[in-house]
Structures are given as C-alpha cells and as structure tokens.
Amino acid sequence: MLKGPGLWGQQKMPGLPSSSPGGHVLEPNLSDNMQILMTERDVSAWSSDRLRQLLLSIRVEGPEGVCLMTEVSKLDGEASINNRKGKLFFFYEWQLKASWLGTSVGGVKYRGTVEVSNLSDENDEDDLDINVSLCKDQPNTPLLDLMKRTGVKEVRRVLTKYVQDLKSEFSQGMILPTADGKDPSVPAKAKRNLVKTRTQITPSQKSLSSPTQTSTGVLIPTCGFNLQESFRTSAEELYETFINQEFVQVFTRLPAAVDSRKGGKFWHLDGSVHGEFTELVPHQRIHMKWRFRTWPSEHFAAVSLELEDHGDETELRMECRGVPAGQEGSTEEGWKRFYFNAIKQAFGY
C-alpha cells in the first residue's frame, strides 16, 4: 500500500556517507547490518490516536451558526518510518470519516459527515480530497456551506499538523549510527543525554487499564488528590451529564466534543481539556485519561469518577493521579469550579 516518499515524506539526515573516499559507490554487504543502515518503525497506533485528537478539536463558527466534529467513525490505513542509508522516509496512507454537529443561530441542530480518501505521503496537502455532506435525513441548511467553506480549511490544517507532528515526534529516535559506530547528529559528549532523552519522550501507545496508571510521554514529578461531592439527582442522570456532549456544552458553556465509549476521545472547554475514556460502567463508573493543554506534551493524569446512588442524591468520589507536581491545587480548583459547581448551577443538582 505504501509506495514511496512524496512531497511530505522525505527528509535527508546529515553525516552518513553514500560513497567511498575515491568517489566509488559503496555497495552494501547484506551480512553487515551497520553498512545496510536500515531500520523501520510502525507508527500506525500513534497516528490513529493523533488523527482522532486533531479531528475532534475542529470547531468553526460563522453567521450561519457553529459546527463541531463529534466522532471519528473511520480510520483505515497505516503509517511507518524507514531510515535507509541516512535518509528518513515517512510513509502513511489513510482513509478518514468523521461526523459533525451544527447548531444554527436559531438553535436548530444538523448532522453531517466529512470524508478524506487520500491522506498519503504521495499527496500534497492541497491535493487532499475532502468531501463534506449532510446526513441523508437532514434538510438543507446554510451550515453545510459553512463547513464546505471554513470546515474544509480546518480539516486540511489539522491533517497538515498530523504530518508535522509525525516528523517532529519520531525523527530523533530514527537516527542511526554510521559504520564507525558514531551518531552523526550529535557530538560525542552529548550522546549520553540524547539516549536518556529518547527514552523519556517516546510516547506510550498503551491505554490506561486502571485509574492508578498514567500514560505519559514525559517523565516528570507528579502528585494527586481526592474529591467527594453530592448531587441532588440520580446516578443515571449524573453519569449522562459527564459523557453526553450536549450536556457537557451546557454546563461548561463552551464547545466540546465527546465520543462516549471506551477508547473514545473527548475535549472540553473549547479545547483547554482533552483526554480519552478508558472504562465506562453505565451509571456507576467513569475512568479517563485527562490533561490540561498547558501540561507537558503527551502527559495525562488518570481520573476515576465513582457514582453511588442514595435515592435522593448521588455521591461522587473522584480520584486523580499523575498531576504535574505543583499544579494539583489549580487542577483541583478547576474540577470544582468548571465541573462540579458548573453542573449544579446549570441543572440545579
């Protein structure tokens, strides 16, 4: 499927010779791994997560109303990186389909889809085929024009961002030593620090399996906190308040996107917060990876919300682990203000 480097897919790495001192081309010895200088890395899982994250961050607004991406329903494809004799090649090929929700100035909601069939290293960003449409049961609306006019630009922008992130995230780890065993990209004194940095910044592709585990791409000191709050509503209603996109937008009073299933992504407060659901037990438990956008890249806290229905009220117990040290106070206050208190004010709980 992946055929070769395209306009976005090739990067020359310095310092690796392709010919002998006499100008003769060095033929590789197939029994000598150091001369072949080739390695490959599958980055499909990372790419899938990053594409979902970027697509779900899209929000466009105009005189017609507001449109948000709500779900990525199709992500078919693969991505890999190859280092061949000092050249770094990025191969990727994806077919995407996402759903969008539009709200007119009069408050009427419309649903539609966006499809991209040719995100590939062989195509430049201007060559992407981006098709925007309304769902079959939806009447015509000016919001479709908004999505075709502005939404397409945003889709093109975030897909370009994916390619940029792919290169910046993995280029360093793909540099190979030369035949004499030296790393061409750094002086000898810096090697030890480079190895340490590579280990720390490699992004984890594993989801949380429990609320005490934290997926983090940067090794930093962390801490946590616990909260307990009572709401005058049923556990069923409180559970839906946290996982229903329209409810989240009501109590935060800002755009949000929520894919309410295990492994589903979410972003709240107009993108200030985003994460992923790692466990959902209806009306009882919500586990998630959660981060604030100013935290170190790829670092998430593990958040657990446990609900206990007492009939006339529901008790919520929250456990948060993996908060960057020094930010536990602001994070705790943020949860109280923008989640718990906001929910009570919006719904009277």
In this structure, are residues 119 and 77 in contact, taking their beta carbons and an 8 Å threshold? yes
Rounded Cα distance between 207 and 256, Å, is: 22
Residue 343 has φ and ψ, to the nearest 5°, of -65, -45
Question: What pLDDT does 38 receive?
Answer: 60
Q: Where are the domains of the chain?
A: 10-201, 222-347
**Per-residue model confidence as pLDDT tens digits over 183-223:** 444 333 333 332 322 323 333 333 333 343 444 445 789 99
Segment 238-257, tens digit of pLDDT:
999 999 988 898 898 888 88
Spatial separation of the C-alpha atoms in residues 183 and 83, rounded to whole Å: 14
What is the length of the chain?
A: 349
Tens digit of each residue's pLDDT (9 = 90 or more) over 282-305: 999 999 999 998 898 889 999 999
Nearest to 194 by CA among 173, 215, 217: 173
Listed in order, strand segments (DSSP E) in the chain are 10-12, 38-42, 59-62, 65-84, 87-104, 109-120, 130-134, 222-231, 257-258, 265-268, 273-281, 285-292, 301-309, 314-324
CATH number of the domain located at residue range(s) 10-201 in this protein: 3.15.10.20
Report the share of the chain in percent with pLDDT over 90.
Answer: 48
CA atoms within 13 A on the CB side of 46: 21
What are residue 246's phi and psi, to 5 degrees? -65, -40
Got the DSSP string for 8-42?
TSEEEPTT---B-TTS-B----TT-HHHH-EEEEE
Q: What is the DSSP string of 39-68?
A: EEEE-HHHHHHHHHHHHTT-EEEETTEEEE
The CATH architecture assigned to 222-347 reads 2-Layer Sandwich (3.30)
- Residues of the chain with pLDDT > 70: what percent? 76
| pLDDT per position as a tens digit, 25-38 | 444 444 444 434 56
